[in-house]
């Protein structure tokens, strides 16, 4: 997308799009043993363990920039923003399912959407989803503009994944026992969102990054 102020294209090619890194990736893939891990969450996401034995990377595949860690960190930042978006999507789906079910489910002669306890749950769920969404929009704007947002990336990954677990759990609670069956998608939303607190850096890792940005690295007393 062109920057309106400068007229330049502000999109940056991710590290893995650069030719020397594509060559290195092919070299790795040819020598790696791939064995999918069995898992029942996010079935469309294949989780693999990789093992490299006697692997040598040709010198021509070295970027020579000396910034391999920075490139990897930049890619991880994008992945964390993506995970936040995934978390928000799962929470939004659970919220919509809970609203629809609350309107349909009749108890004591009226839909449970009339009960204050259910209404307050849904109000809180919707508020948390929207708060996470707006934070994600802000972080993605910073990333698109090429501005550093290390703390903000960790904030949105941490906040969105924690929020999503709360919202999907509350949605399942609205469904009651029916929500724990595979007759409704809410149980899958609940299971899938739990993983977002783990991959691309756990919630605890995100808290550590945020704290390090705000307070600096811990200093041990001499």
Annotated catalytic residues are 200
Give the span between the Cα atoms of 10 and 12, in whole angstroms. Answer: 6
Give the span between the Cα atoms of 125 and 122, in whole angstroms. Answer: 5
Concatenate the DSSP letters of all residues of the chain into one string: -B-TTT-SB-----GGGSHHHHHHHHHHHHH-EEEEPP-SSSTTS--EEEE--S----GGG--SSS-HHHHHHHHHHHHHHHHHHHHHHHHHHHHHHHHHHHHH-EETTEEGGGSHHHHHHHHHHHHHHHHHHHHHHHHHHHHHTT---HHHHHHHHHHHHHHHHHHHHHHHHHHGGGGGSTTSTHHHHHHHHHHTTTTTS-HHHHHHHHHHHHH-S-----
Concatenate the DSSP letters of all residues of 87-107 into one string: HHHHHHHHHHHHHHHHHH-EE
């Amino acid at each position: 997308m062109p920057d309106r102020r400068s007229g330049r294209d502000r999109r940056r090619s991710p590290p893995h799009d650069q030719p020397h890194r594509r060559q290195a990736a092919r070299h790795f893939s040819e020598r790696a043993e791939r064995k999918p891990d069995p898992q029942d969450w996010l079935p469309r996401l294949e989780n693999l363990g990789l093992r490299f034995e006697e692997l040598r990377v040709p010198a021509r595949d070295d970027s020579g920039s000396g910034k391999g860690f920075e490139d990897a960190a930049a890619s991880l930042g994008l992945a964390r923003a993506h995970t936040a978006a995934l978390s928000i999507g799962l929470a939004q789906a659970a919220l919509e399912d809970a609203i629809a079910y609350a309107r349909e489910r009749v108890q004591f002669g009226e839909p449970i959407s009339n009960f204050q306890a259910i209404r307050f749950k849904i109000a809180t769920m919707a508020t948390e989803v929207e708060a996470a969404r707006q934070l994600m929009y802000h972080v993605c704007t910073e990333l698109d503009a090429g501005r550093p947002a290390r703390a903000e990336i960790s904030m949105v990954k941490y906040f969105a994944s924690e929020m999503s677990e709360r919202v999907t759990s509350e949605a399942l609670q609205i469904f009651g026992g029916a929500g724990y069956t595979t007759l409704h998608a809410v149980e899958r939303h609940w299971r899938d969102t739990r993983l977002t607190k783990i991959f691309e850096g756990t919630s605890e890792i995100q808290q550590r990054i945020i704290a390090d940005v705000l307070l600096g690295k811990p200093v041990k007393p001499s």
